A and B are shown apart, each in its own frame.
Chain A
């Protein structure tokens, strides 16, 4: 009999994803779920879902879940973690949720060193609402509310959340990864695991920013989208670790 080399993680429910073809949310969900399973913390995990494409994440992660209002996941996670300090708490948020409407919540959660983990999925656009400009939309990138492309003089330059949050002492682990290639997917999983380990060690706030594609709203095939991410997003949003517990004084 053939050896089974891959199986569905227990960290995900049986519910089929609603995500568009080629969207990388599915990969990121799997990585988070695998990490929770491998760390043996599924049964003591509480996830906080955002508003955005991953609003239904509460149907997919096979643990207790709390659906937050738009941008407020870090505040909700703060409430949960303060009540249940020995549980594993994470938020899963997109760029509209975390980098626009929820900037105050994420900055202050990081400032306080809240001991939860944030998975920040940056696809440089509002996906769920149909392709509007996000704070992370690149200059020149077209969106339904930036039909001529994002203009720097009008909407400013896109925000780099990992760099910004890594300036805060309370942030113990900040890393930006991408899921554009098998090698980078492996690196992404390693970073996600590290982020949860930092939480388990009680060292402070941890976040992994994951560069993600949105073929539907970028108007590309999945393959073109991966290429666009490599050619445009990675140069502006450099991959790498911005903060590790060793640097926290």
Chain B
């Protein structure tokens, strides 16, 4: 297929449809509206269903029902809307259902703003709802990668029976880049013999549920989930290591900020400073081992985020005290400028001498 120029939000929709997603339930919120608009236009053409729900709460519960019935299904929203979906996401994770949740992050807290932000890192990776559960969280840095990850996310969700969140921001959602829809690596996906499709043709009932009143039973269920999460941590860590052969400092950044850091790397080179980049693509599972390995080859890490410092905690866990971890970020929808990042790097390296 030839490359076509696509806007990020629409490319997500195209990739989802290509991946066999036929159901989309959503509620309008800026800056992701092009995605539900695209789905409302395109899904009926392929026999799919787009439904605008009465709220984000209803939308995620429609996803819960559709996923339980065995469909490839997704929803999308932006930060305040994701907060509303939190309860439903917890139920979906508890009931072990596959689905895709797209979060085109905007600044918070509260109603916040509509400009790009990465301040939902905690929400996505640590606490997307109540209880002991994890989402697979994928953070693309280009529109091509966005389509690749969206397509793969449905397979990951089906393989592990776990919700996946693809996280972007208004900048990635709105920018246009050439993309080619590429099939992900073939996975051996289990049959959905647990789906509530009616008992016809089988001699057992399927029950989608996250309730276990007996604490011993609930603990057993939680330990089973944890075993699954260990498996995901083993198999699904994704990252990019860039210019890390002989770095003075390694910046760690994902999504939009990683693109800015790549610009900074070039500028720093001109001044004789060698800056590396580790770009987590899966925010959960986080590439802790990669950070730990490169801690032996750098003087320091710098977490660059569009937040007041959230991913920095995971970098510190990865570095495990081997090297200092610094932070530079802008928040509230402000995007870090290369000069600001460069000044911070010089400050750190100057201080380290």
Contacts and interface: CB of A to CB of B under 8 A. Distances in A.
Interface of A: 13, 42-46, 48, 55-56, 58, 62-69, 72, 75-84, 87, 104-105, 107-108
Contacts of B87: 69
Given A79-B69, A104-B55, A64 B61 contact: no
Give the dominant DSSP class at A's interface: helix
B119 to A, nearest CB: 26
B53 A46 contact: no
B199 A64 contact: yes
Contact of B64 (A46, A56, A76): A76
A23 to B, nearest CB: 18
Contact of A66 (B57, B58, B65): B65
Contacts of B51: 78, 82
B71 interface: yes
B69 A80 contact: yes
Interface of B: 23, 25, 49, 51, 53-55, 57-59, 61-71, 73, 87-88, 91, 95, 196-200, 205-211
Contacts of B73: 79, 83
B207 A58 contact: yes
Contacts of B207: 58, 64-67
Contact of A87 (B63, B71, B197, B211): B197
B209 A79 contact: no
B67 to A, nearest CB: 7
Which one of B49, B68, B87 has the greatest number of beta carbons of chain A within 10 Å?
A: B68
A30 B23 CA distance: 34
Given A58-B207, A75-B65, A83-B66, A42 B199 contact: yes
A75 B87 CA distance: 14
B58 A64 contact: no
Given A64-B206, A66-B196, A72 B69 contact: no
A72 B57 contact: yes
Given A79-B73, A82-B23, A44 B54 contact: no
Contacts of B209: 58, 65-67
A80 B54 contact: no
Contact of B58 (A43, A55, A58, A105): A105
Query: Top 3 nearest A-B pairs by Cβ distance?
Result: A79-B65, A75-B61, A79-B66
A117 B58 CA distance: 18
Nearest to A104: B54
A76 B199 contact: no
A80 B200 contact: no
Given A58-B207, A67-B208, A79 B198 contact: no
A82 B59 CA distance: 13
Contacts of A84: 69, 197-198
A80 B65 contact: yes
B200 A43 contact: yes
Contacts of B71: 83
Nearest to A47: B196
Between B88, B199, B210, the greatest number of chain A beta carbons within 10 A of the residue's beta carbon is seen for B199
Contacts of A79: 23, 25, 61-69, 73
